[in-house]
Each structure stands twice: as structure tokens, then as C-alpha cells.
């Protein structure tokens, strides 16, 4: 009973302590709010009401009254940058950096913001120089991310690899997939300049970084073909199926051409038909369709397309069927069929696009690097109509 009584007596005591602490916090908050300039609340209110122009005017007044306020400078600089006034944002952050009494952390912050200003303004050399000065500060990870963006814009792939590895070493997460893509860019450039040996070495590094890199495998086959080793190229391209079945559509034409070169076209057709049974694709049908016409005739090609239309009904597939029908259509219906095909083809041109899974950017050709959002490997290897049918 004594213990319970003590507990009851203690409740008002602890309640009183809590009330006192709350009063102290509230009084402190009220006291601090009184020290803030009136323009601060006006600017904040304008921001909340989505009126950035008026907010900027309010914050400019505060900076005039209190030029030592670093926080207001940062807020003002960011507002200028968001409005696209990068020159004014640059001046704000340069003025901050010119202050000799600026604390080290605020100096690093101002330098980072200045680098972002330069980046937004397209002054990549100045941005790179600014970010390089931050690699030993608390803004190192952010600076390296920005440096990586710069090197990709400039297509400085070796420096991009170094920046990505630096990010990994700083604990900012894995960048292996991107590093593999950078090696692929270097390898592709080597192939353009007929340096297939250099390309092979670079692709080995790409696959070491990401053994599932479909692009590296495809390019490795291209390098082997450039060296005259068609059989090895065919073996390499066939590995794409093990990495990603949908991506076999990207190597279908290469495989068929390779099998023609080694004198085994029927083996190539049979292989591609097996891929088609596993993962239907308009691009794959296109290659198989032409090869079947060449080897087995128009009737076999029509049967192939009809079967695919049953499995995967698309307008793009219908377009191929009409193409096959026109090849042996009687003269009295040829013109009508041709008109229908032209109408279907005109409409399917809008559907025969690849679409970035991140930003939705559509393109006629397949990209490994999205021109819209700059993401790597964000394009599914299927056309938009096929993706809609699958969904």
C-alpha cells in the first residue's frame, strides 16, 4: 500500500515537471521567433503560396538588412537557380565565399551550391573545378555525384569510371552496372576505330564489373566478328539468352547473318524460332519472317506470322501478315490489300517505339542510355505496343 501511495503522490510532481519543460520550450520558441525579421515570414508565406517572385523580393530585403545571414543567402541563391536565373545565383554564392569569416562548413556548402549553379548554366569546366575542391570535405559524395554527371555529359568515360569507383569507395552504393556501361562506351569507340583487340580488353573489364551486362556480351561478339572469328561470335551472342531472354531480339539479326556466313542458315532459323517460342517479339519476328521467306517460301512465312498473331495479337504483327499476303495476292485484290497495309503501317509507326521505363521517353531505336533522363539500361527491349499487350 505504501508503494502505491508513493506512486500516486509522484504523478502530480512529474506532471508539473513536464508542464514546466513545455513552458520553457514554448517561451524559447516565441523568443527566437521575435528575433527573426518580419520579411522572413513574408517570404515563407509567399513560398507556401507558390509565389517565388515575391519570396525573392522578401529575402533580398532580409539580406540587405542582415548581410551576415548565410542561411538567407542559401535560400535566395536556390530560389534564383530554380527560376533559371543562374547568373544571379552564382553572384549570391560567390559573395558568400568572399566572406573571410565564413565557417568551414558554410564555405563548403556555398562552394557546392556554386558548383551546381555552374552545372545548371552549362559551365562544365568551372563546375568540375569547383566540385574537385570538395572531394575532401563533408560534401565529397555530393561532389563526386556531380562530377560523374559532368563526365557523362562530356563523354569522358575513363574519368567517369574513376568517379564512379570513387563513389563506391566512399560508401555511396554500388556503381558496377554504370561502370560496365562506361567500359562498353570505350569499347564501342574502339570498334569504330577498328581496334578490336583494345575493344576485347575493355569488354573483359565490363563483364568483370557486371557479368550480366547484355551490352558487353553483344559488343564482345561484334569484336570477335571484326577479328574474323564468326563461330566464336555466334557462341558469344547466344549467351545473351542466358543473361536476358527478351534481349535476344537485339542480337537476332546478328545471329542470322552469322549463320548465313558459316553456311548454316537453317540452323539459324531454327534457333530464332526457339527464341520466338520462348519470348515473342516484333523485332524477332521481323528477322525470322525474312529468313523463312528466303529459305522456306512465302506460305511458310504466312503460317509463322498467323501463329504468332494467335499467341500475341498486335497491329505490328498484323502488318507483317499483310506484307506476306501481298507477296502472292491475286491482282484483283492486291490494290485493296496494299491500301489496308499502308493504313496499318502508318498507325503502327507510332507504336513501334521503345520507351524508357523511368521517364517515358520514346524512341524509334533502342538506347542503352536514355536521352531523356540519362538513366542507363532503362529501355525494355520490346516495343510499346508489345508492352501494352503484356500488361
Binding residues for Fe cation: 356, 359, 370, 373
Q: What would the grid cell of residue 334 be?
A: 492486291
Backbone angles phi, psi at 363, to 5 degrees: -150, 150
Distance between CA 258 and CA 280 in Å, rounded?
Answer: 21
Q: Is 355 helix (H, G, I), strand (E, B) or coil?
A: strand
Distance between CA 45 and CA 47 in Å, rounded?
Answer: 5
Residue 253 CA: distances (Å) to CA of 87, 107, 145, 284: 51, 56, 38, 8
Dihedral of alpha carbons 308, 314, 319, 322, sign: positive
Could you tell me if residue 173 is left (phi over 0), alpha (psi between -120 and 50 degrees) or otherwise beta?
left
Distance between CA 290 and CA 305 in Å, rounded?
Answer: 11
The CA radius of gyration of the chain, in Å to the nearest whole number, is: 32
Contacts of 29 (CB under 8 A, 6+ apart): none
Annotated binding residues, written as ranges, equal 356, 359, 370, 373
Exposure on the CB side of residue 100, measured as CA atoms within 13 A: 0
Backbone angles phi, psi at 278, to 5 degrees: -85, -40
Amino acid at each position: 500500500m505504501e508503494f502505491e501511495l508513493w506512486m500516486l503522490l509522484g504523478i502530480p510532481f512529474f506532471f508539473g515537471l513536464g508542464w514546466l519543460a513545455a513552458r520553457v520550450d514554448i517561451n524559447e520558441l516565441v523568443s527566437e521567433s521575435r528575433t527573426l525579421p518580419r520579411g522572413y515570414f513574408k517570404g515563407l508565406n509567399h513560398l507556401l503560396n507558390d509565389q517565388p517572385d515575391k519570396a525573392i523580393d522578401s529575402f533580398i530585403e532580409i539580406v540587405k538588412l542582415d548581410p551576415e545571414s548565410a542561411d538567407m543567402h542559401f535560400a535566395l541563391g536556390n530560389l534564383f537557380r530554380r527560376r533559371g536565373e543562374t547568373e544571379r545565383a552564382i553572384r549570391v554564392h560567390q559573395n558568400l565565399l568572399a566572406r573571410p569569416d565564413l565557417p568551414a562548413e558554410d564555405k563548403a556548402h556555398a562552394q557546392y551550391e556554386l558548383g551546381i549553379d555552374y552545372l545548371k548554366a552549362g559551365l562544365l569546366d568551372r563546375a568540375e573545378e569547383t566540385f574537385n575542391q570538395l572531394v575532401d570535405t563533408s560534401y565529397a559524395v555530393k561532389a563526386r555525384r556531380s562530377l560523374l554527371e559532368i563526365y557523362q555529359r562530356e563523354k569522358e568515360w575513363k574519368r567517369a569510371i574513376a568517379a564512379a569507383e570513387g563513389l563506391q569507395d566512399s560508401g555511396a552504393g554500388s556503381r558496377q552496372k554504370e561502370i560496365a556501361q562506361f567500359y562498353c562506351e570505350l569499347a564501342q569507340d574502339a570498334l569504330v576505330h577498328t581496334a578490336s583487340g583494345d575493344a576485347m580488353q575493355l569488354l573483359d573489364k565490363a563483364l568483370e564489373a557486371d557479368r550480366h551486362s547484355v551490352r558487353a556480351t553483344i559488343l564482345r561478339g561484334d569484336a570477335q566478328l571484326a577479328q574474323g572469328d564468326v563461330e566464336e561470335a555466334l557462341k558469344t551472342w547466344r549467351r545473351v539468352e542466358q543473361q536476358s531472354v527478351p534481349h535476344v531480339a537485339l542480337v537476332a539479326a546478328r545471329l542470322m547473318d552469322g549463320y548465313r556466313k558459316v553456311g548454316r542458315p537453317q540452323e539459324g532459323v531454327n534457333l530464332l524460332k526457339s527464341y520466338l517460342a520462348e519470348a515473342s517479339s516484333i523485332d524477332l519476328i521481323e528477322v525470322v519472317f525474312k529468313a523463312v521467306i528466303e529459305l522456306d517460301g512465302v506460305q511458310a512465312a504466312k503460317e509463322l506470322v498467323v501463329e504468332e498473331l494467335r499467341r500475341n495479337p498486335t497491329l505490328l504483327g498484323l502488318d507483317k501478315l499483310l506484307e506476306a499476303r501481298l507477296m502472292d495476292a491475286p491482282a484483283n485484290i492486291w490494290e485493296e490489300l496494299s491500301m489496308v497495309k499502308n493504313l496499318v503501317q502508318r498507325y503502327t509507326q507510332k507504336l513501334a517505339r521503345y520507351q524508357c521505363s523511368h521517364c517515358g521517353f520514346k524512341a524509334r531505336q533502342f538506347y542503352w542510355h536514355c536521352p531523356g533522363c540519362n538513366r542507363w539500361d532503362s529501355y525494355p527491349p520490346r516495343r510499346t505496343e508489345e508492352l501494352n499487350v503484356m500488361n
